[in-house]
DNA sequence: TGCATTTTTCTTGTCGACATATAAAATACA
DNA sequence: TGTATTTTATATGTCGACAAGAAAAATGCA
């Protein structure tokens, strides 16, 4: 008897339901597999994940509290739109968190943190070499998140993670349109940042991370100002 | 027939359940009516709020994603402990957010924002005059949250709100023990901050908010270093 | 035809019940 | 008596079903 013959096999550990749904939906939203503004149906998800609506709803509540989806009372819930009109608030926060987390990493990192950071650094370099844009975006976010972890301030880390997540959505649009030489420059700058952290040079970490962040911001802004407004509005 | 005669009166609007539970539990946690570390029972809450466990659970999921409660798998959920060992990370984030939000308020505030801010300023002054510590804590948080709103950066605002919330719990302990003259000084400093914002003097707003935040931090640290360690551990 | 009103449909919000995992209690055994 | 094992108790995780709103469709009327 093959596995597909038996119908009533739960095959899922108790308590894992919410996490599975949350993780997968989150990834799909951040990779734009679920388009901003698209509607989410609980029953549909329940069928897809083969579970009841209760754990689905709890995953949605969590996504909503993180701003990834919006729920209209008594009416459907939808993937949050990217607010292009207020990108400046996003960039302001992003630059400040780049600086704050990198500074703290220079202060508080431990030897084992550097190994982790270097790991993601190499992953990113390989993604650049392979011209794999989705991997570039994901490993870049992981690299900076690892630096934030080494800074050991959970308040900064959680905001920064949220910003990096939102950045994944924005950068997905960016790299969908343009392939250019900047990723290689980012690799070099990452190496400089690592060196500053390792040397515990707080001011250098601050200066380099600030320049790095502002380069990204200026590139994305240049792109968006060049593109036709109607082209990017969802 | 009086209202109490009919047993099966829902008397609650559909969709309001989660919000009611969330708001009340949040307040009780922040005012220390629910002690850090105390256990939360879903069935008990369901009976208390006269609703089923489903909306209760969704409110708990939301509180958990904001870090106010922690949920042990398959076992009970509890009110998050205050991490006295890592207060420095809290203060680092708090000072930076005081500065960032006040700077942005000086840049982006609109006339109507100032009216709101002044309203909370007066509420706080009255609470100080009345020596109502719980009101002081709440209106102080509201005052600074209003400044953050005027800065119009939702990323900063949401982190700052979370920090102010956590601050409510810490300050509750502070004021439980000591009554002193600092609240009046805070009133004066608030007035100076408002003036800087109104004058759109970004550097002054930065300087004043930094000094204000650091005064609070140093006061709380002084208190905690004076107190017996075992006295405050939970 | 055009608009207001009623009906239908469809999705969400809530409920009560069952299943299961963990901790505590009880038992067995050396 | 002390430890290991089994049993029980209890709170959580999940389920299927019903009810209530809101939008869409259908109907009525001028």
Whole-angstrom distance, CA of residue B137 vs CA of residue B128: 10
Do A105 and A161 meet the contact criterion of CB atoms below 8 Å apart?
A: no
Whole-angstrom distance, CA of residue B164 vs CA of residue B94: 8
Q: Is the CB of B75 under 7 A from strand C?
A: yes
ipTM above 0.90, yes or no: no
Residue limits of CATH 1.20.120.530 in chain B: 84-232
Whole-angstrom distance, CA of residue B127 vs CA of residue B138: 9
Mean of the per-residue pLDDT values of chain B: 88
Q: Please report which confidence band the pLDDT of residue A181 belongs to, taking 50, 70 and 90 as the band edges.
A: low
Q: Give the CA A47 to C1' D18 distance in Å.
A: 20
Number of helices and strands in chain A (H, E): 10, 3
Closest chain B residue to A99, measured at CA:
B96
Task: Note the pLDDT of residue B172.
Answer: 80
Q: Is the CB of B17 under 7 A from strand C?
A: yes
- B89: nearest Cα among A156, A105, A99: A156
Q: Please report which confidence band the pLDDT of residue B226 belongs to, taking 50, 70 and 90 as the band edges.
A: low
Task: Note the pLDDT of residue B136.
Answer: 87
Residue A159 above 80 pLDDT? yes
Give pLDDT tens digits for A111-149.
999 999 999 999 999 998 988 888 888 899 999 999 999
Residue limits of CATH 1.10.10.10 in chain A: 17-79
The second-level CATH assignment, the architecture, of B84-232 is Up-down Bundle (1.20)
Give pLDDT tens digits for A19-59.
999 999 999 999 899 999 999 999 999 999 999 999 999 99
Do A46 and A56 meet the contact criterion of CB atoms below 8 Å apart?
A: yes
State whether residue A44 is helix, strand or coil. Answer: helix
Instruction: Please tell me the class of the B17-79 domain.
Output: mainly alpha
Give pLDDT tens digits for A79-104.
999 988 899 999 999 999 999 999 99
- B219: nearest Cα among B168, B175, B164: B175
Mean pLDDT throughout B179-183? 65
Shortest alpha-carbon distance between residue A54 and chain B (Å): 8
Q: Please report which confidence band the pLDDT of residue B181 belongs to, taking 50, 70 and 90 as the band edges.
A: low
Whole-angstrom distance, CA of residue B57 vs CA of residue B73: 13
Q: Give the CA A129 to C1' D30 distance in Å.
A: 73
Name beta bridge partners: A121.
none
Interface of A with B in 162-181 (CB under 8 A): 162-163
- B161: nearest Cα among B171, B151, B146: B146
């Amino acid at each position: 008897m093959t596995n597909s013959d038996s119908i009533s096999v739960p095959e899922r550990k108790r308590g894992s339901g919410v996490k599975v749904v949350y993780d997968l939906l989150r990834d799909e939203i951040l990779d734009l597999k679920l388009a901003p503004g698209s509607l989410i149906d609980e029953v549909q998800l329940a069928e897809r994940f083969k579970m009841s609506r209760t754990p689905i709803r709890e995953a949605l509540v969590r996504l909503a509290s993180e701003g990834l989806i919006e729920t209209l009372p008594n009416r459907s819930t939808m993937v949050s739109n990217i607010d292009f009109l207020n990108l400046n608030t996003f960039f302001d926060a992003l630059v400040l968190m780049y600086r704050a987390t990198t500074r703290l990493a220079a202060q508080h990192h431990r030897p084992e943190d550097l190994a982790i950071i270097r790991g993601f650094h190499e992953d990113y370099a390989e993604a650049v070499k392979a011209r794999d844009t989705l991997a570039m975006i994901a490993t870049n976010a992981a690299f900076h998140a690892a630096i934030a972890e080494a800074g050991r301030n959970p308040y900064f880390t959680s905001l920064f993670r949220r910003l990096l997540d939102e950045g994944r959505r924005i950068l997905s649009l960016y790299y969908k349109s343009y392939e250019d030489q900047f990723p290689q420059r980012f690799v070099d700058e990452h190496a400089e940042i690592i060196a500053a952290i390792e040397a515990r040079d707080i001011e250098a970490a601050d200066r380099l991370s600030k320049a790095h962040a502002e380069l990204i911001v200026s590139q994305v802004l240049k792109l968006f100002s060049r593109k036709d407004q109607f082209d990017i509005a969802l």
